[in-house]
Amino acid sequence: MGVETRIGIIASVFTGIALLPQLIKIIKEKKSTGVSFLMLSSMFVGISLWIWYGFMKDDYIIIISNAFSLIVNILIVLLSIKYKHEV
**Exposure string (b/e) for 35-65, b if CB count within 10 Å is 16 or more?**
beeeebeebbeebeebbeebeeeeeebbbeb
pLDDT tens digits along 22-71:
999 999 988 888 888 898 899 999 999 999 999 999 998 889 889 999 99
Q: Domains in the chain and their CATH numbers?
A: 3-82 (1.20.1280.290)
What was the pLDDT predicted at 35? Answer: 83
What was the pLDDT predicted at 8? Answer: 82
